[in-house]
Structure 1
Amino acid sequence: MATVERRSSKPEANLSDPQYYISRELSWIEFNRRVLHEGLDERTPLLEALKFLAIFSNNLDEYFMVRVAALKQRIEAQVTRRSPDGRSPQEHLDDISAALRPIVEQQHQDFSTDLRQQMADQGIWLLDYEELSAAQRTYCRDYFEEQVFPVLTPLAVDPGHPFPYISNLSLNLAVVVKDPRTQQPHFARIKVPRVLPRFIPLPEPQAEEPDSKTYRWLGVPLEQIIAANLSALFPGMVVQEHSCFRITRDADLAVEEDEADDLMLAVEQELRKRRWGGSAVRMEIQRDTSGPVRAMLTEELGLAETDVYNVDGLLGLGDLMTFMALPLPNLKAPSWTAAVPPALERLSPPGVDDDDTTLETAEELFSLLRCQEQLVHHPYHSFSATVQRFITQAAHDPQVLAIKMTLYRTSGDSPIVSSLISAAENGKQVTVLVEIKARFDEENNINWARKLEQSGVHVVYGLVGLKTHCKVTLVVRREGQHIRRYYHIGTGNYNPKTARIYTDLGLLSAREDVGADISDIFNYLTGYSRQQVYRQLLVAPLTLRQRLVSLIEHEIACQKKGKGGRIIVKMNSLVDPDLIALLYQASQAGVSIDLIVRGICCLRPGVPGVSDNIRVISIVGQFLEHSRILYFQQGGEEVVLLGSADWMPRNLDRRVEVMAPVTDPALQAELKAVLNLCLEDNRQAWDLATDGSYRQRRPEADEQIRSVQEQLMANAGKSLAG
């Protein structure tokens, strides 16, 4: 890989100085700003643009439920400890509010004034109720009476009716009605039901004269239908005003693992609390809501004015994701059909049904892995034809004795889980570590854990105080008089749905030393093993941090000896202050460092005398960049690793993570090629500036467009064609 010559300087600065660290919270906001930009970029197809606006909104919901809620808890607990960037919890809250408000306003303004017009130009008419014709209003009234009215429950607020509980992320109508006899105003809340579609389709207009408009979809927001028919909910009363509002609550779990006799029961109890929700942390409300209603809601919910976000137009734009279901491929990104890696393509196809998988096809796969490690790259490579096939064929191969697997997140109809159940039913010893503390997937994972246990699978729930985040599967197979281990180590979850939209890497192999390490890891996870040393794998929280420090220090030593220093790291987040300080030291020594960090990056590049030799890019595109690749030049003895860990304190110290070395020269070359394509990207890549802002790369008029994701799709397609 080419080495970039950069100026070195002597270390003089105090590398723990807050000025050298970007706020984690503000860096995340910058990431979500890049997501929003994809939705507003004129090069993004229309329905993809709506998708990115929805992702922006959903990301923001989770940010408030977890990060903002945590800051509020610290303030309430009078925690004054400052983050590495020097901010106190209160200063962070103030800066978050200042940074977010213009971005949220931009989202709503651009949707209302630009994207809704683009939708209409393409025949997608999302109308406001006042735009409807008389016939359309009649249709809406009938729909309300038949489908909506029976579901609604207006809740009054008065001395006999306390302020109702407002559930997390619910869309609501605040209604003020007046009793004509007493002339007294009354407040009521109506929850917009989630059991009905948010956007109600309408029949096309029927008119005598031909309509020149194109109609591919026509509809109106559900809350506006409810608002137009409030008189039916409050007969005999005069409706004075109404407005929409939406609440976000603290939704993180607080499980006292050390004191829990049954971890699953403890998590279930916390999930019940989450359904009710913690304290409110944000209210989104229509800007024209009257002062008295706004003040009453703010007070009853225990919010400050800084927790209130005024919105022009529709609330809850996460629901725009529903438009991706429209059968309009010309308004979406080109569809992509994942390829099968050439080596696996040459194998006999497995049977259509799991039970039809033959011993011969399984033997072909395992024989291939004995001879040659396989690198799979999703979504460019098919998940079902690679990872899923590996697990399914192991489940039905009579020679397989045991399957062991970590399961952090999976889909609701997981074929992986079905294969594990089949393996247990086929008499194999199946052990699955289900991480029931995976945030927002706790309930789903508890359900899978119970289903697996009922089928005879041995299920464990991880270690107290640690989340098991590694992605590892071990298959133990009898071959003649010997036992051989086969394994998969990946960067992403065993989830066929996210494998179509997340970029993730996996290694399928039968290396004995790595297989032995994986056996030790499962003994560590399921038993009382105190294994501290591993042959090949880097394992958190035991050896990963120490090994990363050693690799960076060796790169510094190589640079000082004149052998050249080069580091390239691709990850989701870079937060750990100790590793950031060590990267600063490497930069000061003259080591050339490229960081490809999709989301949060607390390192500040380009600081004279500190990080002159570090550059940082972020790639935001059609697929969510999720793979982690580490490259260290090591004086010509290159080290390349892939695995599940980002460089954050939680990953290095409070999670079980695995990074695996890739030693096959051909596979190393593939991974280095991926890194180079990322660094050369001029379509989805953003450069991080010293001040913490990002600038999107744009090709010059005469410059070829280089998109890493498009290039990898093209490369996979060529392999398939070949």
Structure 2
Amino acid sequence: MGKAARKRVVKEASAPASAGDRYFNREMSWLAFNRRVMEEAQNPAHPLLERLRFLSISGSNFDEFFMVRVAGLMGQQLQKVEVRSADGLTPGQQLSAIVEEAGKLADGQQAVWNHIRADLAKAGISVLGPDEIGEDAVDWLERHFREQIFPILTPQALDPAHPFPFIPNQGSSVVFDLVRQSDSEPIRELVLLPTSMPRFVRLPGEPARYVTVETVLKRFSSLLFPGYDVLRSATFRVLRDSDIEIEEEAEDLVLTFRSAIKRRRKGRVIRLEMEESIAPELEAVLLEELGGSDALLTETGGFLGIGDLAMLVEEDRPDLKFSPYTPRFPERIREYGGDCFAAIRAKDIIVHHPYESFDVVIAYLNQAAADPDVVAIKQTLYRAGKQSAVINALIAAAEAGKSVTAVVELKARFDEEQNLYWATALERAGVQVVYGFIDWKTHAKVSMVVRREGGQFRTYCHFGTGNYHPVTARIYTDLSFFTADPRLGRDAAKIFNYVTGYVEPEGLELVTISPRNLREELLSLIDQEIEHVRNGRPGAIWAKMNALVDPVVIEKLYEAGNAGVEIDLIVRGVCCLRPGVPGMSENIRVKSIVGRFLEHSRIFAFGAGKDLPSTSAKLYVSSADWMPRNFDRRVEFLLPILNRTVHDQVLDQVMQANLLDTEQSWMLRSDGSYVRSDAGEEPFNLHRYFMTNPSLSGRGAALKTRKPVPKLSLKRRKKKPA
């Protein structure tokens, strides 16, 4: 492109002016993302039980969407809050659109389940309906019901003398209309299915046969209600408002959260799911008793609680699952005999999870706990999981007499209770536990170790794009960056002081943080690309994230695209930017990747006057998505990658592989729809690429004597009309 062409910024087409034409609605974009997840359940390239896993994930996602996002909109509507979304919709208008689209998505989930269920039966895994339980299974099921289910159940009459029982969030129940055999007296009974009870009962032997617990209950209801005949029965399920709001004046954050968690279990009913066969009078009773007159009601002839299908995925059928994959331990650490500090001291290291094992992070912390020269460890904990080796390492370090500080985020949604548990365990071991800000979440993933070396102290740091969670680290793609750069050590110390003591982090040398100025730094970087184009140089932006929502950043991207900056965005989930619109976003392309692993890393590259990829490009990793909450209400970091080896590994391998992927990619059109990428003559699967190629963990010259990582070549792609 010539200099004159680069300077052309005036477009013949005028940019859309209305908010609805400039942005996609966040909630509708999320539903579109969950549809992509659901459609992976129809992907013939995936093994059958993995397809079922995708379907169950879409069900769990769906529940959380209602418990949090829809609950928030319903709360605004009840309080008559008319704040409009970025695309110009009121809460009521958004709810109307959600109800319609969510209904289609729910119907789609049932249709997919019917197809998968039939395929499972052909493969030797059957889910039996009430009429499919053969005589050979009845005796065993009856005995199982008497011994394993009957003692747990507590039927409750529904009449004026018995108040309607509390139905917990995500709780399923079966309601029965009965008639007494002796005098034909009608009675209505409700049986709550305890959440601790497995949803499916597996019959003994092979082939695998499963029956839902509600089917078993209905089949043997005569044992629970002797002397009664069943007129009708129906299963229903409840979703409640599960968001937690904390008042700014809370005096004791721990006590406040313990109370809030208890309140959440009794939150307002948001969604009431019922069997299609439910009688109208019974439906009316449930709506009245559950306070659900304002709840979203859905009836289905299919399976209630799609997320519960995850139990079937645990069936021992390796032939119906992805081939097992064992992450590699980073070569760089092995080259130093397992001495993490020696390897980091020699050169910065980037580790690519889950292809490279999260065990390296555990090894780093365990070494710090056992090393007599380590004097202090500071660690953020957003989500740590239920079986956390990270927690054990911190406890071991404290018990060894080291100064250990843990910033535990109590506001990590749905992990609040687990984090309270870990905080208590850490405090008992002598760890200094800090909960951070009342009104902000500490979402940054940072760990620092201070070690005595040669009469002075050296700081080692770990910055991650993902959580210190050993389970999700096996299925989320994230980056771990290890460094002993003194500048980053000083920055990390200031970040911890900011969170623990509210000490303003003046003079940060390399790291940018929110809520201070992370958005402003990104805007400046985009402006620099605009300036390059105006001066006749190439302008290019590659950015990978989980969500793009912030209107300020979106408008700056529109400005950059109109100036001639070539922009490629990889946004896994919600994207409110509308690409490919004449006069507004012609130079912006957006793709979403949904596959075996959940794309979670945040990576941002700016061409710095060169076409990407480029050795001079400005490259960053971050804990933050481009959302208002990440910029304004969370502590996040934006970290420049300055080491040349690490820079090239992340830009030339990780980012290029994401852009090259055709087998798991969906392209976002200007109308908001997503279309699966054409695999083409040379299909490329980024997950398979990293699973089958050598480690990228900063080996540098070591690659010269081993099989090198294949070089990727990303040709400049021609723009296609949206």
Indicate the TM-score class for this superposition, using the shorter chain for normalisation. over 0.9
Moved more, 579-588 or 630-639: 630-639
- Distance in 1 between the 2:99 and 2:78 partners? 18
Matches within 5 A, 1:15-414: 17-112=19-114, 114-180=115-181, 183-204=184-205, 215-256=206-247, 258-275=248-265, 277-304=266-293, 307-349=296-338, 364-384=339-359, 386-414=360-388
CA 1:564 to 1:15, structure 2 compared with 1: closer, same or farther past 3 Å? farther
User: Which amino acid is the alignment partner of residue 437 of structure 2?
Assistant: L
- Distance in 2 between the 1:343 and 1:635 partners? 33
- Distance in 2 between the 1:635 and 1:510 partners? 30
User: Which amino acid is the alignment partner of residue 515 of structure 2?
Assistant: P
CA contact (8 A) 1:8 1:612 kept: no
1:469 paired to 2:469: no
CA contact (8 A) 2:370 2:400 kept: yes
Task: Measure how far apart 1:532 and its partner are.
Answer: 4.0
CA deviations 1:76-118 (Å, max 9, x no partner) are 1101111111111011111001111122112112212x11111
User: Which amino acid is the alignment partner of residue 232 of structure 1?
Assistant: L
- Distance in 2 between the 1:366 and 1:193 partners? 49
CA 1:231 to 1:382, structure 2 compared with 1: closer, same or farther past 3 Å? same
Q: Which residue of 2 aligns with 1:353?
A: none
Instruction: Give TM-score scaled by structure 1 length.
Output: 0.93
CA contact (8 A) 1:15 1:581 kept: no
* SS of structure 2 residue aligned to 1:716: coil
CA deviations 1:614-671 (Å, max 9, x no partner) are 0000000011110000001122442101020000000000000011110112211111
CA contact (8 A) 1:251 1:278 kept: yes
CA contact (8 A) 1:514 1:537 kept: yes
Q: Identity percentage over the alignment?
A: 43
- Distance in 2 between the 1:625 and 1:532 partners? 33
Matches within 5 A, 1:235-634: 235-256=226-247, 258-275=248-265, 277-304=266-293, 307-349=296-338, 364-384=339-359, 386-634=360-608
Task: Measure how far apart 1:718 and its partner are.
Answer: 9.5
Task: Measure how far apart 1:464 and its partner are.
Answer: 2.2
Task: Measure how far apart 1:286 and its partner are.
Answer: 1.1
- Distance in 1 between the 2:8 and 2:243 partners? 45
- Distance in 2 between the 1:272 and 1:718 partners? 45
- Distance in 1 between the 2:427 and 2:294 partners? 49
* SS of structure 1 residue aligned to 2:694: helix
User: Which amino acid is the alignment partner of residue 674 of structure 2?
Assistant: Y
| Alpha-carbon RMSD | 1.9
User: Which amino acid is the alignment partner of residue 228 of structure 2?
Assistant: M
Q: Which residue of 1 aligns with 2:688?
A: 710
CA contact (8 A) 2:604 2:621 kept: yes
Matches within 5 A, 1:1-16: 9-10=10-11, 13=15
- Distance in 1 between the 2:567 and 2:18 partners? 19
* SS of structure 2 residue aligned to 1:268: helix
Task: Measure how far apart 1:327 and its partner are.
Answer: 2.1
CA deviations 1:210-259 (Å, max 9, x no partner) are xxxxx341221111110111122222222110011111000111211x22
- Distance in 1 between the 2:695 and 2:620 partners? 25
Q: What stretches of structure 2 of length at least 5 have no aligned partner?
A: 611-615, 698-702, 708-722
1:671 paired to 2:673: no
CA deviations 1:580-601 (Å, max 9, x no partner) are 0110000110100011000000
CA deviations 1:406-439 (Å, max 9, x no partner) are 0000121211110101111111100010001110
- Distance in 1 between the 2:6 and 2:37 partners? 33
- Distance in 1 between the 2:648 and 2:10 partners? 32
User: Which amino acid is the alignment partner of residue 293 of structure 1?
Assistant: L
CA contact (8 A) 1:532 1:542 kept: no
Task: Measure how far apart 1:321 and its partner are.
Answer: 1.1
- Distance in 1 between the 2:562 and 2:281 partners? 59
CA deviations 1:469-502 (Å, max 9, x no partner) are 0000000011012211100000000111111000
CA deviations 1:479-530 (Å, max 9, x no partner) are 0122111000000001111110000001001001111000111111111412
CA deviations 1:161-185 (Å, max 9, x no partner) are 1222111101111211124566453
- Distance in 1 between the 2:237 and 2:600 partners? 31
* SS of structure 2 residue aligned to 1:602: coil
Instruction: Give TM-score scaled by structure 2 length.
Output: 0.93
Task: Measure how far apart 1:197 and its partner are.
Answer: 2.3
* SS of structure 1 residue aligned to 2:104: helix
- Distance in 2 between the 1:693 and 1:660 partners? 33
Q: What stretches of structure 1 of length at least 5 have no aligned partner?
A: 205-214, 350-363
User: Which amino acid is the alignment partner of residue 266 of structure 1?
Assistant: T
Task: Measure how far apart 1:8 and its partner are.
Answer: 5.2
- Distance in 2 between the 1:66 and 1:394 partners? 39
User: Which amino acid is the alignment partner of residue 248 of structure 1?
Assistant: L
Task: Measure how far apart 1:717 and its partner are.
Answer: 6.4
- Distance in 2 between the 1:657 and 1:305 partners? 37
- Distance in 2 between the 1:323 and 1:163 partners? 33
CA contact (8 A) 1:284 1:310 kept: yes
- Distance in 1 between the 2:182 and 2:281 partners? 22
- Distance in 2 between the 1:588 and 1:626 partners? 29
* SS of structure 2 residue aligned to 1:125: strand
